[in-house]
A and B are shown apart, each in its own frame.
Chain A
Amino acid sequence: MTTARLDATFAALADPTRRAILARLARGAATVTELVAPFKLSQPAISKHLKVLEKAGLITRGRDAQKRPCRIEPAPLAEANEWLEKYRALWEANFERLDDLLDELKAEKRPKKR
């Protein structure tokens, strides 16, 4: 996954409304009209968020000119999640290594005290 694509994914995910829209779309496709009511936002405001999500490749829009239902695209999310997992695992690995180093340093100090 390219950094630019990760950037777009995380920028899109940084907004709570867009995360909520994705969570709603994860339960099934929806049109802009169907998204207006639950989010208590105007149609233009919803459309703006959808454009960001579409540009980031997190959703796709149907071809039906009237309805253009939105669908979630799981691939970029899966890739982002994989990246996050690596990041979290990296800190765990660093700190586990630090645990070992601390044990080693403690053991070195012990004989001196006796």
Chain B
Amino acid sequence: MKSTLKVVASGDREIVITRTFNAPRELVWDTLSRPELLKRWLFGPAGWAMTVCEEDRRVGGTFRWAWVGPGGAAMTMTGAYREIVPPERCVRTETFETGCFPQMGEQISTLVLGERGEQTLLTLTVLYPSKEARDGALASGMEHGMAAGYDRLDEILAGAAG
């Protein structure tokens, strides 16, 4: 059974992403930490590829991930690790240097992997620098069904078309 990606708003400044994977936690942790494995799945949009995956995964260490796309388009994300508890928890800062929209300043992302028998529940909490940045990210619809209180874009469109 395919698990679906869920995205919900939490508090004023957070977005929480959840997804279940059909694999043990240690293995999921590896695919999210080791550059040679990250490069095999974290491609970005169609036609893009991860070209740089510099990782210094220790507290105080930094990372630099970069992708290239059609026509030489580029996207780069950098940051620093604040907390690492393998294979369950990783906290880091993230900043999009180029190519990502919308620009939101530095965000703090907390990755938690929970053991669910043979499965792993991934929970990624992104804390934005401001409510506006969070709402901008939510409006940019990482998911259709946004948190309560949001007018769904497709409903607006359906109304406009009718």
Contact = CB atoms under 8 A, between A and B. Distances in A.
Nearest to B23: A102
B132 interface: yes
Interface of B: 2, 5, 19, 21-24, 27-28, 30-31, 37, 40-46, 101-102, 132, 135-136, 139-144, 149-151, 153-157, 159-161
A106 interface: yes
Nearest to B135: A14
The 6 closest A-B pairs by CB, nearest first: A26-B159, A84-B141, A102-B23, A74-B160, A97-B41, A14-B136
Given A20-B151, A90-B44, 8 more contacts: A10-B139, A26-B160, A77-B157, A81-B153, A92-B5, A105-B23, A105-B30, A105-B31
A106 B27 CA distance: 8
Contacts of B44: 90, 94
Contacts of A72: 156, 160
A14 B41 contact: no
A105 B143 CA distance: 29
A105 B153 contact: no
Contact of B101 (A3, A26, A77, A96): A3
B150 A19 contact: yes
Contact of A14 (B30, B42, B132): B132
Interface of A: 3, 6-7, 10-11, 13-16, 19-20, 22-23, 26-27, 72, 74, 77-78, 80-81, 83-88, 90-103, 105-106, 109
Given A23-B151, A84-B141, A88-B144, A99 B21 contact: yes
- Most chain A CB within a 10 A radius of its CB, from B102, B139, B144: B139
B140 A23 contact: no
Contacts of A105: 23, 27, 30-31, 37
A77 B161 CA distance: 11
A112 to B, nearest CB: 13
Contacts of A93: 43, 46
Nearest to B24: A106
A95 B18 CA distance: 11
B140 A27 contact: no
